[in-house]
Amino acid sequence: MIGAAFPATLASAQAGDETAFACIFRDVQGPLVRYLHVISPEADDVAGDTWLQIVKGLPGFRGDEQAFRAWLFTIARHRAVDNGRSRARRPVLFDATVPFDAYVPADQLASPDAADLALEAISTQSVLALIKKLPSDHAEIIMLRVVAGLDPADVARIVGKTPGAVRVTTHRALRRLADLVERAGVLQ
Amino acid sequence: MTGPNALHGEMPGFPFPGRPGGEHDEPLLDIIIARRALPPDAPAAMHDLARMLAAMAGPTEPGEMVGEMAVRTAFSRVASPVGISSEAQQPARRRRTRQSYRPARSPAMLVSVVVAAVAGFGSVMAAYADVLPTPIQQLAHVTVAAPAPHQSPNPLPTLEGGKRTDVSPRPECSKVSANADEGDTPSPTPGGHRCNEVSPFP
């Protein structure tokens, strides 16, 4: 995150300074694309649509860096939903009554992909591949809460849950991810 | 739900084998979420998880910058003139080119239009007042149905050797008529205009 310099950077970008806008773009583009890779099959296209809407609304934006990120990821989720509707590719929603192995079969965990992941160094793509094995709502909340750095209230507004439910789901998702890492042996 | 696939929240207090800490891991998970350093005595699985998520929340990688130029170009088009890049200047020139085909509406243009309108209206009024020179009055008579020019006792001026000769003085419209009784009679001119000039024909 940009931190203390964000207000000045934002003000410059709102005044038309392309360099300042590029600074904001480069700071948040990584988490944005990673988040979109989790919730959309066309992450790059959705990211482009998201930024176009950000550009249009930037002069009227008021808020700090946290609010900017919440705004950005809210738009990104809406664009991803629109993209999914247009392609009739609705994401499979997590059903708490279905056992975890129904989503991540044991043979998949032991697949060559998982074995390859175990041999790789820690990289963004390898970790992203593991997170995408989680139930969709768990993966999304991990991305918003941990990767994008949003607080529970912002995540709750984005995903349509209460902040308490977001906290519980975040802990649950992290435990599942830790379990998945241990079973896949990524870091060993 | 029972068995190893159950969630901690579904079976609180149950010691899941192979899982780090059960419900007691929440402080550690909160530390990971807040991106703070874990205590050294935290389980190894928590350290692994923290390293994974730190890598995931790392800075933007070069491969993730796809579309930066398109976004920056869109920004330049929307942004104010301050800080416009070279990519944005070309569309701006195109906008100005398109605007150049539109009719200008400057204050000078408006003044010119008003002056022309007043002059035209004044000319028509002068034609109906029958105060224009005979050729012009004749033209006005043909074009805008102004009163016909009065017949001058003198022939039309002719040009001899390029010089005007025998230019008769224009009849004075406001001159008192020689016949005072005819002062109330309407003018024979079609516009009802009364011209009190002296009749050349007694």
Q: Residues B191, B146: contact at Cβ < 8 Å?
A: yes
Read off the pLDDT of residues B3-18 as tens digits, 9 standing for 90 and up: 445 554 555 444 444 4
Structural domains in chain B (count) = 2
Is B70 within 8 Å of A48 when comparing Cβ atoms?
A: yes
Q: Quick one: pLDDT at residue B99?
A: 44
* Most confident stretch, B66-75, B135-144, B164-173: B66-75
Domains with residue ranges and CATH for chain A: 3-86 (1.10.1740.10), 100-184 (1.10.10.10)
For residue B191, being part of any structural domain is answered with no
How large is the C-alpha radius of gyration of chain B? 49
Is B64 within 8 Å of A145 when comparing Cβ atoms?
A: no
Q: Quick one: pLDDT at residue B123?
A: 74
- E-strand spans in B7-109? none
Read off the pLDDT of residues A19-40 as tens digits, 9 standing for 90 and up: 999 999 999 999 999 999 999 9
Question: Facing residues of A90 across strands?
Answer: none
Distance between alpha carbon A56 and the CA centroid of its chain, in Å?
22
Angle at which helices B107-128 and B134-144 pack, to 10 degrees?
100
Query: How close is the nearest chain A Cα to the Cα of B41, in Å?
Result: 17
Within 8 A by CB and 6+ apart from B149, the residues are B130, B132, B134, B135, B137, B138, B141
B175 pLDDT more than 80: no
For residue B158, being part of any structural domain is answered with no
For residue B88, being part of any structural domain is answered with no
Residue A31, judged by CB atoms within 10 A of its CB (0-12, 13-18, 19+), counts as: buried
Domain containing B48: what range?
A: 22-53
Question: Has the ipTM of the complex gone over 0.85?
Answer: no
A147 pLDDT more than 70: yes
For residue B83, being part of any structural domain is answered with no
Q: Which residue of A has its CA nearest to B67?
A: A48
B176 pLDDT more than 60: no
- pLDDT confidence of B195, banded at 50, 70, 90? very low
Backbone angles phi, psi at B191, to 5 degrees: -85, 5
Query: How close is the nearest chain A Cα to the Cα of B65, in Å?
Result: 7
Between B26-30, B111-115, B158-162, the lowest mean confidence (pLDDT) is in B158-162
